[in-house]
């Protein structure tokens, strides 16, 4: 609370930071409440689940435009607005390849508790132990789409452009130190 003196009496006013924090919490609650359930497995007709990175309406208030804050092992797949400047056929092909490779490694990510987070934001933040954030800028790179591999406490790995599923899996194994057999999760240590 802030206070001011008026004619010898103290008047209390609400601190603007408190209002900003309340608003941020409300926005966070709305975002978390609006998250959909995981999509069902794609049908055997060859259709793949869409990452949802390409918004045909190009909504300025899309949740994907909000920068992600990473606090655990994660793979951030990004598709920036600059990709819309590509030839539409090239952009569609790149998006399909990005989606296919991502879908191909999803089971391995799930098995090892590595989050897959899509974003259209130009910045990703890594949560630090001192309640600060370290920014990672993904704009201005070779390609306006790709992946950021993040293990808090370690340097991130930026993969721009499209990767074949096996190449992406090799990158994931090397960065997260995953075994060749990614069908089984690492044993959990209990004390």
Nearest-angstrom CA–CA distance, 122 and 139: 5
Among 125, 182, 170, which Cα is nearest to 150's?
125
Nearest-angstrom CA–CA distance, 52 and 55: 7
**141 and 148 in contact (C-beta within 8 Å)?**
no
For the chain, domains (ranges, CATH) are 63-176 (3.40.30)
pLDDT in tens, 59-116: 454 678 888 899 999 999 999 988 878 899 999 999 999 999 999 999 999 999 999 9
Q: Kindly tell me the burial class for residue 4, based on how many C-beta atoms sit within 10 Å of its own C-beta (0-12, 13-18, 19 or more).
A: exposed
What pLDDT sits at residue 56? 45
At which residue do the structure tokens 């987070």 appear?
A: 117
What pLDDT sits at residue 167? 97
At which residue do the structure tokens 């060749």 appear?
A: 180
Q: Is the pTM of this model over 0.75?
A: no
């Amino acid at each position: 609370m802030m206070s001011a003196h008026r004619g010898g009496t103290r008047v209390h006013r609400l601190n603007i930071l408190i209002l900003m924090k309340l608003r941020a919490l409300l926005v966070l609650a709305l975002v978390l409440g609006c998250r959909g359930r995981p999509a069902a497995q794609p049908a055997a007709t060859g259709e793949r689940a869409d990452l949802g990175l390409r918004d045909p309406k190009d909504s300025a208030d899309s949740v994907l435009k909000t920068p992600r804050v990473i606090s655990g092992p994660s793979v951030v797949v990004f598709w920036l607005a600059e990709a819309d400047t590509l030839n539409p056929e090239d952009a569609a092909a790149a998006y399909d390849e990005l989606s296919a490779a991502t879908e191909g490694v999803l089971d391995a990510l799930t098995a090892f508790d590595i989050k897959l987070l899509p974003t259209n934001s130009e910045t990703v933040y890594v949560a630090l132990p001192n309640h600060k954030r370290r920014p990672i800028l993904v704009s201005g790179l070779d390609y306006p789409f790709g992946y950021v591999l993040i293990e808090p406490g370690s340097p991130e790995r930026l993969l721009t452009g499209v990767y074949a599923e096996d190449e992406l899996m090799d990158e994931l194994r090397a960065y997260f130190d995953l075994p060749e057999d990614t069908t089984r999760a690492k044993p959990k240590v209990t004390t």
